[in-house]
Amino acid sequence: MKYIDIHGHPNLSQFDADREEVFGRAAAAGVGMVIIGTDIESSLRAVELARTHDNVWAVVGIHPTEASTTIDFDVLKSIARDPKVVAIGECGLDYVHATPEEITQQKEVFIHHILLANEMGKPLMLHVRNGKEMTGAYQEALAILKAHAQVRFNFHFFAGTPRDAADIVALNGTVSFTGVVTFTTDYDDVIRSVPLTHIMSETDCPFVAPVPYRGTRNEPVYVIEVVKAIARIRTEDEEEVRRQLLENARNFFHP
Ligand SMILES: [Zn+2]
Protein backbone atom coordinates (compact mmCIF):
# COMPACT_ATOMS: atom_id res chain seq x y z
CA MET A 1 0.00 0.00 0.00
CA LYS A 2 1.42 3.38 -1.07
CA TYR A 3 -1.54 5.71 -0.53
CA ILE A 4 -4.72 5.66 1.49
CA ASP A 5 -8.07 7.35 0.95
CA ILE A 6 -9.19 7.72 4.56
CA HIS A 7 -12.73 8.88 3.78
CA GLY A 8 -14.84 7.75 0.84
CA HIS A 9 -18.25 6.30 0.08
CA PRO A 10 -17.77 3.52 -2.51
CA ASN A 11 -20.56 1.80 -0.55
CA LEU A 12 -23.09 4.17 -2.21
CA SER A 13 -25.27 3.28 -5.19
CA GLN A 14 -23.17 5.45 -7.56
CA PHE A 15 -20.74 2.50 -7.61
CA ASP A 16 -23.25 -0.33 -8.04
CA ALA A 17 -22.53 -0.78 -11.75
CA ASP A 18 -18.72 -1.10 -11.56
CA ARG A 19 -17.69 -1.35 -7.89
CA GLU A 20 -15.22 -4.22 -8.38
CA GLU A 21 -13.48 -2.32 -11.19
CA VAL A 22 -13.15 0.72 -8.90
CA PHE A 23 -11.63 -1.48 -6.17
CA GLY A 24 -9.37 -3.10 -8.78
CA ARG A 25 -8.02 0.25 -10.00
CA ALA A 26 -7.26 1.28 -6.40
CA ALA A 27 -5.52 -2.01 -5.61
CA ALA A 28 -3.45 -1.87 -8.83
CA ALA A 29 -2.20 1.62 -7.88
CA GLY A 30 -1.43 0.63 -4.26
CA VAL A 31 -4.30 2.69 -2.86
CA GLY A 32 -5.98 1.45 0.31
CA MET A 33 -9.29 2.87 1.46
CA VAL A 34 -11.51 3.50 4.44
CA ILE A 35 -15.23 3.31 3.60
CA ILE A 36 -17.53 5.53 5.63
CA GLY A 37 -21.09 4.80 6.70
CA THR A 38 -23.64 7.61 7.04
CA ASP A 39 -26.54 5.52 8.37
CA ILE A 40 -27.09 1.91 9.49
CA GLU A 41 -27.55 0.54 5.98
CA SER A 42 -24.48 2.19 4.45
CA SER A 43 -22.46 1.24 7.55
CA LEU A 44 -23.39 -2.43 7.06
CA ARG A 45 -22.37 -2.20 3.39
CA ALA A 46 -19.04 -0.61 4.37
CA VAL A 47 -18.28 -3.50 6.74
CA GLU A 48 -19.25 -6.09 4.12
CA LEU A 49 -16.92 -4.49 1.55
CA ALA A 50 -14.10 -4.25 4.10
CA ARG A 51 -14.47 -7.92 5.01
CA THR A 52 -14.23 -9.04 1.38
CA HIS A 53 -11.30 -6.85 0.21
CA ASP A 54 -7.68 -6.38 1.24
CA ASN A 55 -6.48 -2.92 2.30
CA VAL A 56 -10.09 -1.85 2.80
CA TRP A 57 -11.50 -0.84 6.19
CA ALA A 58 -14.83 0.48 7.43
CA VAL A 59 -16.08 3.32 9.64
CA VAL A 60 -19.63 3.10 11.00
CA GLY A 61 -21.96 5.80 12.24
CA ILE A 62 -24.79 8.22 11.57
CA HIS A 63 -24.17 11.45 9.64
CA PRO A 64 -25.23 14.58 11.59
CA THR A 65 -27.82 15.44 8.92
CA GLU A 66 -29.48 12.09 9.79
CA ALA A 67 -29.52 12.89 13.53
CA SER A 68 -33.28 13.49 13.63
CA THR A 69 -34.08 9.99 12.31
CA THR A 70 -34.70 7.08 14.67
CA ILE A 71 -31.31 5.59 15.49
CA ASP A 72 -30.83 2.13 16.99
CA PHE A 73 -27.58 2.53 18.89
CA ASP A 74 -27.59 -1.13 19.94
CA VAL A 75 -27.44 -2.14 16.29
CA LEU A 76 -24.71 0.43 15.63
CA LYS A 77 -22.71 -0.96 18.56
CA SER A 78 -22.97 -4.51 17.28
CA ILE A 79 -21.69 -3.38 13.84
CA ALA A 80 -18.90 -1.32 15.43
CA ARG A 81 -17.39 -4.39 17.10
CA ASP A 82 -16.26 -5.87 13.77
CA PRO A 83 -12.44 -6.02 13.66
CA LYS A 84 -12.46 -4.35 10.22
CA VAL A 85 -14.21 -1.30 11.71
CA VAL A 86 -11.35 1.11 12.43
CA ALA A 87 -13.28 4.21 13.58
CA ILE A 88 -16.71 5.55 14.54
CA GLY A 89 -18.47 8.09 12.27
CA GLU A 90 -19.01 10.06 10.27
CA CYS A 91 -20.53 12.00 13.12
CA GLY A 92 -20.46 15.56 14.38
CA LEU A 93 -22.23 18.85 13.71
CA ASP A 94 -23.60 20.19 10.40
CA TYR A 95 -24.99 23.72 10.68
CA VAL A 96 -25.55 24.21 6.93
CA HIS A 97 -29.34 23.85 6.88
CA ALA A 98 -29.97 22.98 10.53
CA THR A 99 -32.63 24.51 12.79
CA PRO A 100 -31.82 25.11 16.49
CA GLU A 101 -33.89 21.99 17.38
CA GLU A 102 -31.92 19.91 14.88
CA ILE A 103 -28.62 21.18 16.30
CA THR A 104 -29.71 20.08 19.78
CA GLN A 105 -30.44 16.61 18.36
CA GLN A 106 -27.13 16.58 16.47
CA LYS A 107 -25.24 17.25 19.72
CA GLU A 108 -27.00 14.38 21.51
CA VAL A 109 -26.28 11.96 18.66
CA PHE A 110 -22.67 13.19 18.46
CA ILE A 111 -22.15 12.48 22.18
CA HIS A 112 -23.62 8.98 21.70
CA HIS A 113 -20.97 8.34 19.02
CA ILE A 114 -18.17 9.66 21.24
CA LEU A 115 -19.23 7.35 24.09
CA LEU A 116 -19.39 4.41 21.66
CA ALA A 117 -15.89 5.25 20.37
CA ASN A 118 -14.59 5.44 23.94
CA GLU A 119 -16.15 2.07 24.74
CA MET A 120 -14.74 0.45 21.58
CA GLY A 121 -11.35 2.14 21.90
CA LYS A 122 -11.68 3.29 18.26
CA PRO A 123 -11.06 6.83 16.95
CA LEU A 124 -13.71 9.27 15.67
CA MET A 125 -14.27 10.33 12.05
CA LEU A 126 -15.85 13.78 12.30
CA HIS A 127 -18.05 15.71 9.90
CA VAL A 128 -18.26 19.36 11.00
CA ARG A 129 -19.63 22.23 8.88
CA ASN A 130 -20.43 25.86 9.57
CA GLY A 131 -23.62 27.37 8.18
CA LYS A 132 -23.60 30.62 6.22
CA GLU A 133 -24.82 32.63 9.20
CA MET A 134 -24.38 30.03 11.90
CA THR A 135 -20.64 29.60 12.42
CA GLY A 136 -18.81 28.23 15.42
CA ALA A 137 -19.45 24.55 14.63
CA TYR A 138 -15.74 23.70 14.95
CA GLN A 139 -15.35 25.33 18.35
CA GLU A 140 -18.59 23.74 19.55
CA ALA A 141 -17.43 20.31 18.35
CA LEU A 142 -14.07 20.80 20.09
CA ALA A 143 -15.83 21.72 23.36
CA ILE A 144 -17.93 18.53 23.15
CA LEU A 145 -14.83 16.44 22.36
CA LYS A 146 -12.92 17.99 25.27
CA ALA A 147 -15.77 17.12 27.61
CA HIS A 148 -16.31 13.52 26.44
CA ALA A 149 -13.73 12.02 24.08
CA GLN A 150 -11.02 9.66 25.28
CA VAL A 151 -9.97 8.65 21.74
CA ARG A 152 -8.25 10.25 18.73
CA PHE A 153 -10.33 12.21 16.22
CA ASN A 154 -10.06 13.43 12.62
CA PHE A 155 -11.97 16.37 11.13
CA HIS A 156 -12.78 15.12 7.62
CA PHE A 157 -13.05 17.61 4.70
CA PHE A 158 -11.66 20.30 6.97
CA ALA A 159 -13.16 23.69 6.06
CA GLY A 160 -12.55 25.71 9.21
CA THR A 161 -10.10 28.53 9.87
CA PRO A 162 -6.35 28.19 10.56
CA ARG A 163 -7.27 29.05 14.17
CA ASP A 164 -9.74 26.11 14.30
CA ALA A 165 -7.02 23.86 12.87
CA ALA A 166 -4.50 25.03 15.47
CA ASP A 167 -7.01 24.28 18.25
CA ILE A 168 -7.59 20.79 16.79
CA VAL A 169 -3.86 20.08 16.59
CA ALA A 170 -3.39 21.35 20.16
CA LEU A 171 -5.70 18.50 21.24
CA ASN A 172 -3.68 16.11 19.01
CA GLY A 173 -6.55 15.91 16.51
CA THR A 174 -5.98 15.62 12.77
CA VAL A 175 -7.54 17.20 9.66
CA SER A 176 -8.04 15.63 6.23
CA PHE A 177 -8.42 17.22 2.80
CA THR A 178 -10.20 16.22 -0.41
CA GLY A 179 -9.80 16.94 -4.12
CA VAL A 180 -11.08 20.49 -3.62
CA VAL A 181 -7.50 21.44 -2.74
CA THR A 182 -6.59 20.77 -6.39
CA PHE A 183 -8.91 23.49 -7.72
CA THR A 184 -9.15 26.21 -5.04
CA THR A 185 -6.52 28.08 -3.05
CA ASP A 186 -8.95 28.52 -0.13
CA TYR A 187 -7.22 25.82 1.93
CA ASP A 188 -3.60 26.68 1.12
CA ASP A 189 -2.98 28.69 4.32
CA VAL A 190 -4.36 25.95 6.54
CA ILE A 191 -2.50 23.20 4.65
CA ARG A 192 0.75 25.11 5.20
CA SER A 193 0.05 25.93 8.86
CA VAL A 194 -0.79 22.43 10.12
CA PRO A 195 2.14 20.08 10.88
CA LEU A 196 2.38 17.37 8.20
CA THR A 197 2.03 14.76 10.96
CA HIS A 198 -1.56 15.98 11.56
CA ILE A 199 -2.83 15.84 7.95
CA MET A 200 -4.50 12.93 6.13
CA SER A 201 -5.65 12.41 2.53
CA GLU A 202 -9.17 11.55 1.39
CA THR A 203 -11.47 11.70 -1.63
CA ASP A 204 -15.00 11.83 -0.10
CA CYS A 205 -15.93 9.99 -3.31
CA PRO A 206 -18.24 9.97 -5.25
CA PHE A 207 -18.20 13.73 -4.54
CA VAL A 208 -15.62 16.45 -5.35
CA ALA A 209 -13.33 14.76 -7.90
CA PRO A 210 -9.90 16.41 -8.11
CA VAL A 211 -8.33 18.00 -11.18
CA PRO A 212 -7.93 16.51 -13.83
CA TYR A 213 -11.10 14.45 -13.18
CA ARG A 214 -13.24 17.38 -12.01
CA GLY A 215 -16.94 17.04 -12.83
CA THR A 216 -16.79 13.25 -13.09
CA ARG A 217 -17.58 10.68 -10.41
CA ASN A 218 -14.76 10.62 -7.89
CA GLU A 219 -13.15 7.31 -6.78
CA PRO A 220 -10.47 6.23 -4.25
CA VAL A 221 -7.55 5.98 -6.73
CA TYR A 222 -7.83 9.75 -7.30
CA VAL A 223 -6.49 10.31 -3.78
CA ILE A 224 -3.07 10.29 -5.47
CA GLU A 225 -3.95 13.74 -6.91
CA VAL A 226 -4.84 15.00 -3.41
CA VAL A 227 -1.47 13.86 -2.03
CA LYS A 228 0.35 15.54 -4.94
CA ALA A 229 -1.57 18.80 -4.33
CA ILE A 230 -0.74 18.79 -0.61
CA ALA A 231 2.96 18.37 -1.45
CA ARG A 232 2.81 21.15 -4.06
CA ILE A 233 0.98 23.58 -1.72
CA ARG A 234 3.48 22.90 1.07
CA THR A 235 6.41 22.94 -1.42
CA GLU A 236 7.59 19.66 0.05
CA ASP A 237 8.93 16.51 -1.57
CA GLU A 238 6.05 14.45 -2.99
CA GLU A 239 7.52 11.11 -1.94
CA GLU A 240 8.13 12.35 1.59
CA VAL A 241 4.56 13.68 1.85
CA ARG A 242 3.16 10.41 0.47
CA ARG A 243 5.10 8.38 3.03
CA GLN A 244 4.13 10.64 5.96
CA LEU A 245 0.40 10.73 5.07
CA LEU A 246 0.34 6.93 4.90
CA GLU A 247 2.08 6.70 8.26
CA ASN A 248 -0.38 9.24 9.73
CA ALA A 249 -3.29 7.00 8.72
CA ARG A 250 -1.60 3.96 10.27
CA ASN A 251 -1.04 5.89 13.49
CA PHE A 252 -4.64 7.08 13.48
CA PHE A 253 -6.51 3.89 12.69
CA HIS A 254 -4.08 1.20 13.91
CA PRO A 255 -5.64 -1.08 11.22
ZN1 LIG B 1 -18.28 11.64 3.83
Domains and CATH numbers, the chain: 3-253 (3.20.20.140)
Q: How far is the CA of 38 from the centre of ligand 1 (A)?
A: 7
How remote is the CA of residue 170 from the centroid of ligand 1, in Å? 24
Q: Per-residue pLDDT tens for 54-87? A: 999 999 999 999 998 989 999 999 999 999 999 9
C-alpha 133 to ligand 1 mean position (Å): 23
User: pTM for the full model?
Assistant: 0.97
* Residue-level pLDDT at 51: 98
What is the Å distance from ligand 1's center to 138 Cα?
17
Q: Distance from the CA of 169 to the center of ligand 1, in angstroms?
A: 21
The pLDDT, as a whole number, for residue 64 is 97
Q: What percent of the chain has pLDDT over 70?
A: 100
Q: Residue 17's pLDDT is what?
A: 98
- Percentage of the chain beyond pLDDT 90 is 98
Q: Tell me the pLDDT of the chain averaged across its residues.
A: 97
Residue 143 has pLDDT above 80, yes or no: yes
The 10s digit of each residue's pLDDT in 15-53 is 999 999 999 999 999 999 999 999 999 999 999 999 999
The predicted structure's pLDDT at residue 47: 98
**Confidence band for 255, pLDDT divided at 50, 70 and 90:** confident
Phi, psi of 161 (to 5 degrees): -90, 165
Q: Is the pLDDT of residue 120 over 90?
A: yes
163-211 pLDDT tens trace: 999 999 999 999 999 999 999 999 999 999 999 999 999 999 999 999 9
Q: How far is the CA of 8 from the centre of ligand 1 (A)?
A: 6
Can you tell me the mean pLDDT for 222-239? Answer: 98
- The three-state DSSP-derived secondary structure of the chain is CCEEEEEECCCCHHHCCCHHHHHHHHHHCCEEEEEECCCHHHHHHHHHHHHCCCCEEEEECCCHHHCCCCCCHHHHHHHHCCCCEEEEEEEEEECCCCCHHHHHHHHHHHHHHHHHHHHHCCCEEEEEECCCCCCCHHHHHHHHHHHHCCCCEEEECCCCCHHHHHHHHHCCCEEEECHHHHCCCCCHHHHHHCCHHHEEECCCCCCCCCCCCCCCCCCHHHHHHHHHHHHHHHCCCHHHHHHHHHHHHHHHHCC
